């Protein structure tokens, strides 16, 4: 019994303890890392969007939070950012004209090199992350489109002097409206005109060449319309004149024909009454018509008295 008891209460060997510790330490370390990953903090400048298997769970503002290991956190910068519209910054820090985006056309058809500085921020972190592939790119396109539209409503003098404040207000209002309709999660904080001046001589010359060509096309079109407007009434007047002449000739022919029919009917009526006399009279009238210089005398061949036909006419 003494040997058995000694065997039962015999302490574990150092090798087994070392193996247990070798297994336990990595497990504890992994658990510690997982536990640390379940906690996260959000500062004042960010919002955190928590997702679970692709589904949005919540949005957290500044603070210290816990999440499940299978949940993911995306932080969104909520501070105000700025970007230039119409110019680029060189490596030396100098503002250079962006010829593709900085040249605008005013309402009086002048070119203007106008630069804007746009300040914006994220208004909806969820929409910013998931509603647009490139929110900043869409913001830039919206800004350019609305700037061009607004500037085109002002003259070059207004855009360079007294109209700057109103242009800025109009552009901001138009951008906010469009950003809200597109729901890309961004909003405009402010937009200001940095500079506005006439473009380079080369661009002005090219623009004038285009305007000259357009004016030439407009002139040719106006001349064509003027010629058309002149010729169409003239042709219509000639057509009316021809129709009126034809109608008059038609009426004349009809009246003449009706007169001839009336005379024929009268002659026929006389002929039925006195066939022989009527035939002779018609013969004599026709002879006078054929031989207008002769005198027709009626006689029976026996008497010496001759009666000129003029007496009966």
What Å distances lie between residue 262 and 33, 251, 257, CA to CA? 129, 16, 9
Please give the Cα distance from 126 to 55 (Å, whole number): 11
DSSP one-letter string for 129-144? HHS-S-HHHHHHHHHH
Do residues 191 and 127 share a domain?
yes
Is there a single domain that holds both residue 278 and residue 267? no
Contact by Cβ (8 Å): 85, 100: no
**CATH code for position 175:** 3.30.479.30
Indicate whether 168 and 133 sit together in one domain: yes
- Same structural domain, 166 and 187: yes
> Among 86-90, 124-128, 136-140, which stretch is predicted with the lowest mean pLDDT?
86-90
Question: How far is residue 281's CA from residue 309's CA, in Å, rounded to a whole number?
Answer: 10
- Stronger pLDDT, 119 or 21, i.e. the higher one: 119
Final residue of a structural domain among 72, 98, 115: 72
Number of domains, the chain: 4
Q: Which of 70, 185, 53 is nearest to 130 (CA)?
A: 185
Angle, CA 213 vertex, CA 210 and CA 219 arms, to 5°: 140
Q: Is 240 helix (H, G, I), strand (E, B) or coil?
A: helix
Q: What percent of the chain has pLDDT over 90?
A: 28
211 or 244, greater pLDDT: 244
Whether residues 85 and 195 share a domain: the answer is yes
Calculate the dihedral angle through the C-alpha atoms of 197, 202, 204, 206, rounding to the nearest 10 degrees.
-150
Six-digit token pair at 279? 């035939």
Q: Tell me: the pLDDT tens digits for 153-181?
A: 998 888 888 899 999 999 999 999 999 99
Q: Are residues 187 and 206 in the same domain?
A: no
Tell me, yes or no, whether 1 lies in a domain: no
Residue 310, pLDDT > 60, answer: no
Helix axes 164-182, 135-151, angle to 10 degrees: 140
Inside any domain, residue 8: no
Same domain, 240 and 255: yes
pLDDT tens-digit readout, 216-258: 888 888 888 888 888 888 888 888 888 888 888 888 888 888 8
Q: Identify the residue with better confidence: 15 or 120.
A: 120
Residue 9 lies in a domain: no
Are residue 150 and residue 182 in the same domain, yes or no?
yes
Report which listed range, 71-80, 213-222, 256-265, 285-294, is most confident: 71-80
The whole-chain average pLDDT of the chain stands at 80
CA atoms within 13 A on the CB side of 110: 16
Residue 30 domain-assigned (yes or no):
yes
Token reading at 103: 């040249």
pLDDT number for residue 185? 94
Q: Which domain holds residue 231?
A: 200-273
pLDDT of 36 strictly over 50: yes
Indicate whether 7 belongs to any domain.
no
Residues 164 and 109 in one domain: yes
Residue found under tokens 């009626």: 298
Confidence of residue 1 (pLDDT cuts 50, 70, 90): very low
69 pLDDT more than 90: no
End-to-end CA distance of the chain: 189
The two counts, helices (H) then strands (E), for the chain are 8, 13
Q: Which of 172, 199, 226 is the last residue of a domain?
A: 199
**Does residue 195 sit in the same domain as residue 142?**
yes
Kindly state whether residues 182 and 225 are assigned to the same domain: no
Comparing 210 with 306, which gets the higher pLDDT? 210
Determine the pLDDT at residue 67.
85
Q: Is 165 helix (H, G, I), strand (E, B) or coil?
A: helix
Top-confidence residue, 149 or 271:
149
Residue 5 has pLDDT above 70, yes or no: no
Q: How confident is the model at residue 192 (pLDDT cuts 50, 70, 90)?
A: very high
- 92 assigned to some structural domain: yes
Residue where a domain stops, chosen among 146, 180, 199? 199
Residue 301, pLDDT > 90, answer no
Q: Is 156 exposed, middle or buried (0-12, 13-18, 19+ CB in 10 A)?
A: buried
Ranked by mean pLDDT, the top range of 7-11, 66-70, 187-191, 257-261 is 187-191
Q: Are residues 139 and 207 in the same domain?
A: no
CA distances from 195 to 85, 98, 141, 223 (A): 11, 13, 20, 42
The confidence score (pLDDT) of residue 261 equals: 83
Count of CB atoms situated within 10 Å of the CB of 173: 13
Give the Cα separation of 145 and 151 in Å (integer).
10
Report the distance separating Cα 259 and Cα 263, nearest Å: 6
Residue 2, in any domain of the structure: no
- Flag whether 136 is in a domain: yes
Report, as an integer, the average pLDDT of 284-306.
Answer: 65
């Amino acid at each position: 019994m003494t040997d058995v008891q000694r065997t039962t209460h015999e302490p574990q060997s150092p090798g087994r303890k070392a193996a247990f510790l070798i297994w336990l330490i990595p497990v504890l370390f992994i658990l510690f890392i997982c536990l640390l990953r379940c906690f996260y903090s959000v500062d004042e400048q960010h919002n955190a969007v928590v997702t679970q298997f692709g589904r949005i769970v919540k949005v957290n503002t500044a603070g210290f939070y816990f999440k499940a290991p299978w949940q993911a956190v995306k932080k969104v910068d909520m501070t105000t950012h700025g970007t230039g519209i119409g110019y680029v910054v060189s490596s030396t820090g100098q503002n250079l004209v962006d010829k593709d985006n900085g040249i605008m056309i005013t309402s009086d058809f002048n070119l203007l090199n106008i630069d804007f500085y746009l300040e914006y921020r994220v208004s909806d972190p969820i929409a910013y992350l998931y509603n647009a592939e490139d929110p900043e790119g869409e913001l830039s396109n919206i800004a350019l489109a609305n700037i061009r539209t607004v500037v085109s409503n002002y003259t070059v003098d207004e855009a360079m002097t007294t109209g700057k404040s109103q242009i800025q207000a109009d552009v901001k209002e138009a951008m906010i409206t469009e950003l809200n309709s597109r729901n890309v999660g961004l909003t405009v904080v402010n937009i200001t005109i940095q500079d506005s001046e006439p473009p380079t001589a080369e661009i002005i010359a090219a623009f004038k060449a285009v305007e000259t060509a357009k004016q030439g096309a407009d002139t040719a079109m106006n001349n064509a319309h003027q010629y058309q407007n002149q010729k169409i009434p003239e042709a219509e007047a000639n057509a009316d004149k021809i129709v009126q002449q034809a109608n008059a000739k038609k009426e004349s022919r009809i009246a003449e024909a009706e007169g001839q029919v009336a005379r024929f009917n009268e002659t026929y009526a006389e002929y039925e009454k006195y066939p022989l006399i009527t035939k002779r009279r018609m013969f004599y009238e026709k002879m006078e018509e054929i031989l207008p210089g002769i005198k027709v005398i009626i006689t029976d061949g026996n008497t010496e008295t001759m009666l000129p036909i003029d007496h009966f006419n």
